[in-house]
Chains A and B, each alone.
Chain A
Amino acid sequence: MKQTFAISIGGAAGQGVATPGDIFAKIFSRRGLHVNAYNAYQSIIRGGHTFLTIRTGPEKVTNMGDRIDLLIPLNQDSIDRHLGLLTEGAACVYNADTIKPGAAATGVQLCPLPVSELADITRNKVAQNTLAVGAALSMAGVGFQALEEVLTEQFKKKGDAVVAENVGIARAGYEYASANFKPFPRPLPMTENRYAVMSGNIAMAMGGAAAGVKFYCAYPMSPSTGVLHWMAAHARRAGIMVRQVEDEIGVVNMAIGAAHAGVRSMCATSGGGFALMSEGLGLSAMMETPVVVIDCQRAGPSTGVPTKTEQGDLWQMLGAAFGDYPRVIACPLDIGDSFKIIAEVFNIADRFQCPGIVLSDLLLSEGRLSVDPKDLDFAPRIDRGELITAPEANANGGYKRYKITQSGISPRAIPGVAGYTHTAASDEHDEDGVLISDEFTNPNKRRAMMEKRMRKVAGITAAVPSPELWGPPDADVTLIGWGSTKGVIEEACEILTEQGIPANQLQIRWLVPLHGDAIVNILKDARRTIIVENNYSGQFARYLRSETSFVPDGYIRKYDGEPFMPHHIVDAVKEQLSGNGTLSVPEHEVLV
């Protein structure tokens, strides 16, 4: 079992759950520790309940884990909801003035802070939070200096007096805990590593900047809005034009316009906005103008649960826009991958002049993870494909935008280049781009253009790597997932293997094109296969079956809005191995 430490902070929206979270994340990552943060929240600006879990450790932490080591409830509601989750060895730090703890399990340390004695709560309304942060770090064995540094950075804009006040309160909490509470037996270690802590949305936005995105537009929609926020804040330094558009129909069409004029162009949305973009994707495919669309899935259908995660948009992606057309759909496996995948999808979209879709979800988009700066390559390979940006010396006129070629790729001239004028059209057209109300497209021409476009599929398939099996080759159970579940399935496999059930993992990153033969080849020798996914109907299982006829032995699904925790998968696997059914729907114990 790897060493990890998880702190959960709960409270009402507006009570300041985020700030202690940010402070912990910064201190842990600067200590050379990995960090994973997941915030369970609600669509409310003030009130409701928010529950942020930060898990840290010297090895990679890929998910929120199963165990809360330290609970910091900021109100009575939060302690009432979560104290019962704590098990032996855990602790709960709370404001003794306002919060009355209920019954806790044996071995759980209750740590009441006399907040009004330790700080002037009439002056500082978030004193309880700052005291708790100090107390927590004392108990975790982190020196006070680390906290002093972070608080100084955070408050320096407000002047020395504010810095001194906050550092003073934090110190009071730190010292009170040192004197009154039992520290955790294993102090948090330090390493020489340094990590950047970011959300998947920031990773995708930065990945876009690295990939050479010059135009980004969006309509705000949770959980994709973080991409817009990063882009807007950094656009001028990155040389990116960012526009907030009237609706997602406008977004995708504006992005296509910019792409058509020759720049890399990207937009992000969630399921509802993506539905509005559907016709535009077809336009991108038909005009052969590459554009990259990010869909950050949230629980649907309709407005659904805007603040909860789901992998429920797969079939919308597969069915987006009518007609057959080439495209690429990829899902990042973790937050670091969310950075990397953008340039990869752009290279394919540009090379094959087709739409590219990146399928994220709330868990990745709004979750946070420590990423090694070495994995953030701002000079990735950029392949713009066959793009004509200046008149070619030996061009003898007669440019055909949709020239029929073996690869299906026709060199693309951008507006402004003399001698290459043409019309790009959403109607079916001939090689010249001539369309006009079907008058010039007869069945032969239509067939030739369909086949030209669809020939690109073979090229895209060759450009996309096949998935690989991770973990022990000789396993009792093979867990199959896609996208964001990578980390939690990986940890479940480790736990199962430790417990004497060797488990391995097949995680799918490229959804379209899907390397069905390679997948079946991997799975044909597996003893028992279980598909794990965050949706009701087994969308990936159905897709895999439709593409390959492969049917797994079992399914683990979750559609309550919250992500999997490792024990959900571990318990379900054991249940199924002991012959108890083939479909498990684990119950989420953390109620937010």
Chain B
Amino acid sequence: MVTALVPQWNVTMADLKGKVDPDWCPGCGDFGVLAAVEKALVELQIPNHNVVTISGIGCSSNFPGFINTYGMHTLHGRALAVATGVKMANHDLTVLVTGGDGDGFGIGGNHFMHTMRRNVDLVYIVMDNQIYGLTTGQTSPTSRVGMKTKSMPFGNIEAPVNPISMALAAGATFIARGFSGEQKHLTGLIKQGIQHKGFSFLDIFSPCVTYNHDNTYQWFRPRVRKLEDDPSYDPADWVAAMEKSLLWGDEIPIGKFFERTDLPALHAAEPVLDAGTLVQSENRVPSDIARSFVEELM
């Protein structure tokens, strides 16, 4: 965010180190996402006090505790709603929302859809491991058909959601997919998401090394293909993005699927915020306006 580029701050990786070390399992994909977010903030030189990292509940939702920004560790599935409130009250803040596939596409599915159509200017980072980890391994909304878990021991019979297609259909204005195993690429996507003025959705393959034995690093590595490597791919083309989003199997695209910059973010479309942020606005209603409110009723 341009407004956050205050010259006197020299943001370093050390500034962003959280009070405690992550409690994720050794080898968890979320480590890579945390590192990429930190690198993106350093490269963009956004001071940590102007960043709010907001999560729901789940392994990946512990994220705000591991990074030194303002943080909110809210309720399961509700991070986007809370984050919308934060952004509306102070749109000068850089708002990052972090969570998992169960949190975002399961219990939080309704907020996911509506926050996208509202084009709230925030970055939504989903660490998608296709499993419920913190509750010790149950089927998630992105678990593949046939996957055996503790909650579906004979194999999942429900079709998984396609987060990229959903985001396209719901009107998200920046949509990308990353892979925790592709650090540099991922950092670039997060930077673009932060710079995008509107809702940025990043679905990130973040393998669960403990409970998901299907979708491992080894499974993803030969399959992921960077969209950026195809010079003919145009992320402004919504139909092309939708076609790409349906690819799954031997070839799985990662990278920026879609971006449009012609729509205002919610806070920019709201005339009440023309004069500045809500948090800096006057508490009192001017007395002449207050009088007019009462006179209407007389």
Contact = CB atoms under 8 A, between A and B. Distances in A.
Interface of A: 29-30, 194-198, 202, 206, 209-210, 212, 214-215, 217, 234-241, 243, 245-247, 249-251, 253-265, 279-280, 283, 287, 373, 376, 378-379, 382, 389, 414-427, 432-437, 439-440
B165 to A, nearest CB: 20
A202 B283 CA distance: 19
14 contacts: A206-B294, A217-B85, A250-B78, A259-B89, A261-B279, A283-B78, A287-B72, A382-B283, A389-B279, A414-B279, A423-B64, A432-B19, A434-B65, A436-B23
Interface string B238-266: 00000000000000000000000000000
Interface residues of B, number: 60
B154 interface: no
Interface stretch (B178-186, B197-205, B269-277): B269-277
B81 A250 contact: yes
Contacts of B271: 236
Contacts of B270: 241
A225 B57 CA distance: 31
Given A421-B70, A424-B72, A378 B298 contact: no
Q: Which 8 A-B pairs have the closest CB atoms?
A: A257-B85, A423-B71, A212-B283, A378-B290, A261-B89, A253-B81, A258-B85, A257-B82
Contact of A261 (B73, B78, B85): B85
Given A212-B283, A247-B110, A376 B294 contact: yes
A364 B20 CA distance: 51
A259 B74 CA distance: 14
Contacts of B19: 432, 434
Interface stretch (B42-50, B124-132, B138-146, B229-237): B42-50
Contact of B57 (A239, A264, A426): A426
Contacts of A279: 75
Contact of B298 (A195, A238, A280): A195
B278 A210 contact: no
A373 B88 CA distance: 32
B214 interface: no
Contacts of A423: 64-65, 70-73
A43 to B, nearest CB: 25
A280 B78 contact: yes
A571 B47 CA distance: 70
B272 A436 contact: no
B123 interface: no
A437 B85 contact: no
A436 B65 contact: yes
Interface string B141-178: 00000000000000000000000000000000000000
A8 B260 CA distance: 58
Nearest to B59: A437
Given A197-B298, A376-B294, A435-B73, 6 more contacts: A257-B87, A263-B279, A283-B75, A420-B49, A424-B71, A427-B73
B285 to A, nearest CB: 5
A418 B49 CA distance: 5
A249 B72 CA distance: 17
Interface string B47-78: 11110101001000010110011111111001
B78 A241 contact: no
A437 B74 CA distance: 13
Given A29-B298, A236-B272, A254 B285 contact: no
Given A236-B271, A240-B272, A263-B279, A422 B82 contact: no
Contacts of B293: 206, 209, 234, 237-238, 378
Contacts of A382: 283
Given A206-B293, A423-B64, A424-B73, A239 B85 contact: no
A238 B289 contact: yes
B93 interface: yes
B84 interface: yes
Nearest to B77: A249
A436 B70 CA distance: 16
A195 B68 CA distance: 55
Contacts of B134: 437
A149 to B, nearest CB: 12
B142 to A, nearest CB: 22
A439 B19 CA distance: 14
Contacts of B110: 246-247, 249-250
Contacts of B48: 421
A458 B64 CA distance: 32
Given A238-B285, A239-B281, A421-B70, A435 B65 contact: yes
A217 B297 CA distance: 23
Contact of A257 (B47, B83, B281): B83
B86 interface: yes
Contacts of A249: 78, 81, 110-111
